[in-house]
Structure 1
Amino acid sequence: MDASVWVGAVFGLVGTVVGGGLSVWASVVAQRQQAAHARKERRRARTSTAIEAALTELFEVQRDARRAGPMDSARERQLHERVLNVRVLLQHVPDAALRSRVQEDTFLMPLDPPGDTRTKQERRADIMLLSADAIACLGAYLRGEPLPPRADRVTAVRALWPLPDFGSDADPVVIFEGDD
């Protein structure tokens, strides 16, 4: 056999091995990218589902606050449960600013600050406003918009509390309800 035949056979064999190796490598890279994309989509779906469930709870808070009648212990307990559900659902939200803002709003809903002089109707209206602020924030996140500015009344309700930073993940604050 001639040397050119051997050289051609070696180059053909090397080309086949290199081509096969590159094909396997490209398949592995594509599979990793697909797996990462699938994880990202699952995370996004979990986040959207959690936000939609939190929105449902917040709309129920608004509906309960609009309902006539005294704010008895059963309604207060239900408000606490709804707020707790929202706070648990927010743990699926990756945006820290959104999570902090909604947690602050929900933190303010069920509790009365020390020395609170608001009437029951003002307190119910404030619960609706806080809920509306949280709903607006969650809706803006779902639409991919920036967080809306706080309403003046929400800022005023927040100012009733003597604590400078509460409701966020950074420093948990424990506040107990007074025994009546």
Structure 2
Amino acid sequence: MQAETLAGLMGFGGTLVGAGVSIWATVITQRHQVKTARDQRIEERGRAAGEKALTELYALRRHLIEVSASSTPVENQSWARIAVDHVDRTEAAIALMPGAHSVRERISEAMDIGTRELLVARLLRAPEDVAVRALTSAALEAIDALSAYMRGEGIPEPSQWLLDCRRDGADLHASEDLDSGEPST
């Protein structure tokens, strides 16, 4: 084979290899860019959901402050429906936050305790100011956890209010088990 032909074939082979590597690199880069763009969209949606939840929590807190400061007895106000609507919108927003399992759990736990206090006060026809205080504490707990999460920090330790509620709930379940004669688990 002549040297010119061999040089031409080697050049052509090098061109094919270079083109193949270039196409492969382009495909890999494009896949990476698509994944990065998708991850950014998900993060942006999660951030927007977190901001909406935080807005709802602050609105709940402001509403409860207004209820507490009102001269009208709490029992005569239709404040509870507004409060529960804020809680519902908060929980709907945090459900859309990707990778936020622990903050969702903390907020849901606090909101569940606050709304449970409201239901108990209504069922027992007890003064609802206890429920107002519980919902206010729940809102503050949730604001603290969500704010830390949104800043990229770890979720703070539970407040004393939440720890007391957990303990009181455990005590309640233990006494129910004793009343039923079944051992607590």
The TM-score, its normalising length taken from structure 2, stands at 0.79
Question: What amino acid does structure 2 have at the position aligned with 1:103?
Answer: S
What does the per-residue CA deviation read over 1:78-112, in whole Å, with 9 as the maximum and x for residues that have no partner?
Answer: 11111111111111122211111111111122222
Which SS does the other structure have where 2:95 is aligned? helix
For 1:131 and 1:159, how far apart are their aligned partners in 2? 19
- How far did 1:17 drift? 0.8
For 2:125 and 2:164, how far apart are their aligned partners in 1? 13
For 1:49 and 1:136, how far apart are their aligned partners in 2? 17
Question: What amino acid does structure 1 have at the position aligned with 2:60?
Answer: V
Maintained 8 Å contact 1:108/1:158:
no
Residue 107 of structure 2 corresponds to 102
Residue 82 of structure 2 corresponds to 78
For 1:73 and 1:122, how far apart are their aligned partners in 2? 14
Residue 128 of structure 1 corresponds to 136
Q: Residues 100 and 163 (structure 1 numbering): CA distance in 2 closer, same or farther, change over 3 Å?
A: farther
- Does structure 1 residue 47 correspond to structure 2 residue 46? yes
Residue 146 of structure 1 corresponds to 154
Maintained 8 Å contact 1:109/1:130:
yes
Q: Which runs of 5+ in 1 are unaligned?
A: 165-180
For 1:33 and 1:60, how far apart are their aligned partners in 2? 40
For 2:95 and 2:53, how far apart are their aligned partners in 1? 11
Which SS does the other structure have where 1:127 is aligned? helix
Which SS does the other structure have where 1:131 is aligned? helix
Cα RMSD (Å) of the superposition? 2.4
- How far did 1:120 drift? 3.2
Question: What amino acid does structure 1 have at the position aligned with 2:161?
Answer: R
What does the per-residue CA deviation read over 1:28-64, in whole Å, with 9 as the maximum and x for residues that have no partner?
Answer: 1111111111011111100110010001111111111
Q: Residues 71 and 60 (structure 1 numbering): CA distance in 2 closer, same or farther, change over 3 Å?
A: farther
Which SS does the other structure have where 2:157 is aligned? coil
Map of 1:11-90 to 2, 5 A cutoff?
11-67=10-66, 68=70, 69=72, 70-72=74-76, 74-90=78-94
Q: Would you tell me which structure has more helix in proportion to its own residues?
A: 2
Q: Residues 119 and 14 (structure 1 numbering): CA distance in 2 closer, same or farther, change over 3 Å?
A: same
Q: How many residue pairs are counted as aligned between the two chains? A: 163
Maintained 8 Å contact 2:84/2:115:
yes
Residue 180 of structure 2 corresponds to none
For 2:45 and 2:75, how far apart are their aligned partners in 1? 34
Identity %: 25
